[in-house]
């Protein structure tokens, strides 16, 4: 049996390690305030990392075609059903800031959109591979895909969860593009997405507030409203200097920066590890995506190649949107940083996708000695 892709494993473990450091630095004060050991929240995150590693190891040995088929037949219907439950509401729905995005399952909070994200990355390439007419025909072709995809985006809008809707829309567009969908259809999707964004902004007060607060930060540096987190995150990033304040010595963790161990963990890492740590984290994401892209280019199977490209695009999109949000380049979107932020369902689904990619690297790739246009790349 061929060995898994070692470089991808190293990059993933490095990101997970930085995530543990960041979560500890962001949560030690809060844990102490609650009368718990300073490392208790980080230990809980480490348990989730262990579950994610187990999911990654399992899917690395399951044939990727089987995983994609299960994602289409089970993952897509299950994720849509679970997301519908969050919209309907009830005692099983866990709310945060008045928004129900989580389901309580055996005393665990699970976010169905993470299952939907993983299902989309695996099922959409599989469906396009099984039905090549999706690339060239709208009627009877792409229309079959647009119905469940449109339902998914509608459920996200009803939650509401516009950050995930944006990320999944970009991800779907990338998969369509990489899958060879005709340019005129891609242009139609882009116009449809632009029109949907305009309608949402025109009729949803929450979106109007976030955009207005973002513009206020860009124009006059106003740190109020929904952009308060991003502005304080910039303060944390700037105060870290070149080498940082040291792990566990962050000032912003003292309840000055909400969600500091989840969506804004990059700010805490930058404050505690400085520019060196922040640059290392960004480079690790770049190496991870480049390695995934190289695996895709070496694939002998069209399905494996499209799935590998889709997984690379997923990590690239979510990491980019999170970093842009933390640095106030876009409005607050509520998206975690892959492999790094504290969170169970997001971490486990990202690790599951990594496991599928490792299976593709082992089972569907040419020998590394085969020359390709990425052959000179050290990754």
Question: For residues 7 and 265, what is the distance between their CA atoms, to the nearest angstrom?
Answer: 25
Question: For residues 155 and 279, what is the distance between their CA atoms, to the nearest angstrom?
Answer: 36
Residues of the chain with pLDDT under 70: 1-3, 95-98, 134-135, 137-141, 221-224, 366-379
The predicted pLDDT at position 377 comes to 43
Question: For residues 286 and 280, what is the distance between their CA atoms, to the nearest angstrom?
Answer: 10
Q: Which of 345, 352, 340, 27 is nearest to 164 (CA)?
A: 345
The predicted pLDDT at position 370 comes to 41
Give the residue carrying structure tokens 């999944």. Answer: 168
**DSSP 8-state code for residue 369:** T
36-66: pLDDT as tens digits: 888 899 999 999 999 999 999 999 999 999 9
Q: Which of 362, 288, 350 is nearest to 62 (CA)?
A: 362
The predicted pLDDT at position 368 comes to 52
CB atoms within 10 A of CB 193: 17
CB atoms within 10 A of CB 17: 14
CA atoms within 13 A on the CB side of 107: 0
The predicted pLDDT at position 372 comes to 44
Q: Assess contact for 272 and 240: CB atoms under 8 A.
A: yes
Pairing of strands 99-105, 108-110: antiparallel
CA torsion angle for 318, 323, 329, 335 (degrees, to 10)? 50
Question: For residues 306 and 121, what is the distance between their CA atoms, to the nearest angstrom?
Answer: 9
Q: Return the structure tokens found at 82.
A: 């679970």
Q: Assess contact for 168 and 152: CB atoms under 8 A.
A: yes
CB atoms within 10 A of CB 263: 25
247-262: pLDDT as tens digits: 888 888 877 888 788 8
Sequence-separated (6 or more) residues with CB below 8 Å from residue 140: 133
Q: Return the structure tokens found at 233.
A: 């995150």
CA torsion angle for 96, 347, 339, 217 (degrees, to 10)? -20
Q: Which of 40, 29, 56 is nearest to 248 (CA)?
A: 29
User: In DSSP terms, which residues pair with 109 in a beta bridge?
Assistant: 104
């Amino acid at each position: 049996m061929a060995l898994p892709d070692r470089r991808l494993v190293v990059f993933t473990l490095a990101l997970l390690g930085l995530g543990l450091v960041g979560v500890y630095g962001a949560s030690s004060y809060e844990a102490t305030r609650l009368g718990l050991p300073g490392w208790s929240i980080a230990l809980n995150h480490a348990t989730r990392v262990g579950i994610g590693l187990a999911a990654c190891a399992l899917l690395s040995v399951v044939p990727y075609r089987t995983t994609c088929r299960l994602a289409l037949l089970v993952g897509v219907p299950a994720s849509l059903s679970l997301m519908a439950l969050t919209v309907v509401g009830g005692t099983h729905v866990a709310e945060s800031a008045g928004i129900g995005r989580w389901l309580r399952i055996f005393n665990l909070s699970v976010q169905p959109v993470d299952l939907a994200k993983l299902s989309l990355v695996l099922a959409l390439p599989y469906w396009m591979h099984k039905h090549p007419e999706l690339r060239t025909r709208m009627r009877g072709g792409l229309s079959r895909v647009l119905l469940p995809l449109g339902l998914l985006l509608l459920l996200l809008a009803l939650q509401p969860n516009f950050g995930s809707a944006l990320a999944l829309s970009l991800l779907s567009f990338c998969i369509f593009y990489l899958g060879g969908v005709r340019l005129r259809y891609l242009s139609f999707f882009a116009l449809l997405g632009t029109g949907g964004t305009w309608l949402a902004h025109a009729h949803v007060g929450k979106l109007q507030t976030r955009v207005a607060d973002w513009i206020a930060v860009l124009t006059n540096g106003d740190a109020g409203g929904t952009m308060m987190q991003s502005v304080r995150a910039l303060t944390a990033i700037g105060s870290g200097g070149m080498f940082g304040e040291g792990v566990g010595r962050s000032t912003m963790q003292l309840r000055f920066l909400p969600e500091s161990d989840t969506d804004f963990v990059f700010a805490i890492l930058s404050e505690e590890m400085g520019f060196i740590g922040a640059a290392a984290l960004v480079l690790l994401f770049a190496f991870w995506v480049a390695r995934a892209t190289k695996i895709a280019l070496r694939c002998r199977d069209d399905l494996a190649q499209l799935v590998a490209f889709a997984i690379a695009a997923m990590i690239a999109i979510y990491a980019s949107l999170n970093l842009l949000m933390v640095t106030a380049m876009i409005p607050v979107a509520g998206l975690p940083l892959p492999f790094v932020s504290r969170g169970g369902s997001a971490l486990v689904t990202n690790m599951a996708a990594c496991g599928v990619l490792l299976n593709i690297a082992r089972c569907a790739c040419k020998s590394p000695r085969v020359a390709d246009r990425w052959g000179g790349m050290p990754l």
